[in-house]
């Protein structure tokens, strides 16, 4: 179960709607009490423009987190003692599944999960209207990503 | 020149579970060679067959992505921190 605070869910939904029709991406940091949403830049369009052969998709159907944002997240882990609770991204005009590309990129380039303890949240929206969010995490026994339910923190 | 190198979780089995190791070298390329000398197998994880840094591997000198510095020939000074962090990517 991934428990998210209501504010956190609102914030990642707002990000997904603002980035529509492009995919958004970011991280949810947590210190055990509070949660912090870190919106990151999706640099897929830039990479696609530079090298369309290597990056055939643009930001409407793919995301690549800005490396500068990614190092900042790691610095926050180091300096603030927070953990990366989840990475999130959106699927504009698509359902909230963990796609083949989501799986392969989460295990590139070494064929094992880069963040085995971090949940991936996928937000589905159609025409700037949020449909649903689903969460996926690495399951050691099946060596695959499996869906985990999303709950609201504080709800009993 | 000795730099501290941050090792990502998936590669720590090569470094005896150490999250940070020391490496010698005057640039990123020689740092990677020095890592390979101490932790066999790490170079092929970081670089492809042609010797280029793999697409899904971000390497930072301090907080700068080396793609925007001098790539593998980026100079490393004593006390610098090199971070190896896998990219976050995906799509529908």
Cα–Cα distances (Å) from A29 to A4, A37, A38, A66, in that order, read 11, 6, 7, 17
* φ, ψ of residue A29 in degrees (nearest 5): -100, 150
Q: How many residues does chain A have?
A: 156
**Shortest Cα–Cα distance, B10 to chain A (Å):** 6
B9 contacts chain A (CB < 8 A): yes
- By Cβ distance, the residue of A68, A99, A112 closest to B90 is A99
Report the relative pairing of strands B20-24 and A83-92 from DSSP bridges. Answer: unpaired
Q: What pLDDT was estimated at residue A156?
A: 47
**Shortest Cα–Cα distance, A99 to chain B (Å):** 5
Q: Which of B55, B60, B61, B88 to mutate to test the interface with A (most CBs of A within 10 A)?
A: B88
Nearest of A3, A8, A17, A64 to residue A37 by alpha carbon: A8
* φ, ψ of residue A36 in degrees (nearest 5): -135, 125
Which DSSP string corresponds to B1-34?
-EEEEEPPGGGTTTTTT-SEEEEE-SBHHHHHHH
User: Which of the 8 DSSP states describes residue A42?
Assistant: B
Query: Residue B45: its chain A contacts at CB < 8 A?
Result: 109-110
Closest residue on chain B to A64 (Cα): B89
Residues of chain A with pLDDT under 70: 155-156
Cis peptide before A144 (omega within 30 of 0): no
B65 contacts chain A (CB < 8 A): yes
Contact predicate A121/A95, CB 8 Å: no
In whole angstroms, what is the distance from residue B20 CA to residue B83 CA? 9
Q: Which two tokens stand for residue A54?
A: 């290597």
B91 contacts chain A (CB < 8 A): yes
Query: Residue B92: its chain A contacts at CB < 8 A?
Result: 23, 61-62, 91, 94, 97, 99, 101-102
Q: What pLDDT was estimated at residue A154?
A: 72
Please, what are the domains in chain A? Answer: 2-152 (3.40.140.10)
CATH number of B2-86: 3.10.20.30
Provide the ipTM.
0.93
Q: What pLDDT was estimated at residue A155?
A: 57
Cα–Cα distances (Å) from A109 to A81, A103, A123, B16, B44, in that order, read 27, 11, 25, 20, 10
Q: How confident is the model at residue B15 (pLDDT cuts 50, 70, 90)?
A: very high
In whole angstroms, what is the distance from residue B58 CA to residue A74 CA? 12
Residues 6+ apart with CB under 8 A from B37: none
pLDDT tens digits along B41-87: 999 999 999 999 999 999 999 999 999 999 999 999 999 999 999 99
Q: What pLDDT was estimated at residue A32?
A: 87
């Amino acid at each position: 179960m991934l428990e998210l605070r209501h504010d956190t869910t609102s914030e990642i939904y707002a990000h997904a709607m603002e980035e529509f029709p492009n995919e958004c991406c970011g991280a949810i940091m947590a210190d055990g009490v509070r949660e912090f949403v870190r919106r990151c830049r999706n640099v897929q369009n830039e990479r696609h423009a530079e090298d369309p052969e290597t990056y055939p998709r643009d930001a409407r159907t793919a995301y690549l987190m800005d490396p500068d944002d990614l190092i900042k997240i790691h610095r926050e882990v180091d300096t603030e003692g927070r953990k990366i609770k989840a990475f999130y991204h959106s699927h504009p005009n698509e359902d909230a599944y963990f796609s083949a590309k989501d799986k392969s990129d989460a295990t590139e380039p070494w064929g094992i999960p880069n963040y085995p303890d971090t949940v991936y949240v996928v937000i589905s929206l159609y025409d700037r209207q949020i449909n649903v969010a689903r969460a996926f995490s690495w399951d050691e026994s099946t060596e695959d990503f499996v869906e985990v339910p999303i709950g609201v923190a504080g709800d009993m | 020149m000795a730099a501290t190198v941050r090792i990502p979780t998936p590669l720590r089995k090569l470094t005896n579970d150490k999250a940070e190791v020391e490496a010698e070298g005057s640039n990123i390329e020689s740092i990677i060679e020095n890592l390979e000398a101490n932790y066999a197998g790490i170079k092929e994880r970081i670089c492809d067959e042609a010797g280029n840094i793999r697409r899904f591997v971000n390497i930072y000198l301090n907080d700068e992505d080396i793609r925007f510095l001098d790539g593998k020939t980026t100079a490393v000074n004593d006390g610098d921190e090199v971070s190896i962090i896998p990219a976050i990517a995906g799509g529908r």
